[in-house]
Amino acid sequence: MRTPTRRDRLRVQMSEDVRAAAREIITGEGVEALSLAEIARRVGVTPAALYRHFDGLADIVRHTARDIVTELTAELQAAVDAEEETDYAARTIAPSRVFRRWSLAHRQEFSLLFGTPTTAAGDAHRDMTSGWVRDLAGVWGRVFMQLWAARPYPVRPDEELDPRLRQQLADYRTATGVDIPLGALVVMLSCWRSIYGQVALEVFDHFAPLVPDQEPMFELLMQELMARMGLGEDYRPPAAE
The predicted pLDDT at position 199 comes to 96
Provide the H-helix boundaries in 35-119. 36-43, 47-50, 57-81, 88-105, 107-114
Q: How far is CA 35 from CA 15, 22, 120, 191, in A?
A: 16, 9, 8, 36
pTM for this entry: 0.90
* All domains in the chain, ordered by first residue: 65-235 (1.10.357.10)
Residue segments in the chain with a per-residue pLDDT below the cut of 50: 241
Q: How far is CA 146 from CA 136, 139, 178, in A?
A: 16, 12, 10
Q: Are 43 and 21 in contact (CB under 8 A)?
A: yes
The predicted pLDDT at position 6 comes to 59
Q: How far is CA 86 from CA 144, 214, 223, 234, in A?
A: 12, 29, 18, 11
The predicted pLDDT at position 208 comes to 80
CB-based contacts of 122, cutoff 8 Å, min separation 6:
56, 57, 58, 61
Decide: residue 144, CB within 10 A, 0-12 exposed, 13-18 middle, 19+ buried: buried
pLDDT digits (tens, 9 = 90+) for 143-189: 999 999 999 999 999 999 999 999 999 999 999 999 999 999 999 99
pLDDT digits (tens, 9 = 90+) for 68-85: 999 999 999 999 999 999
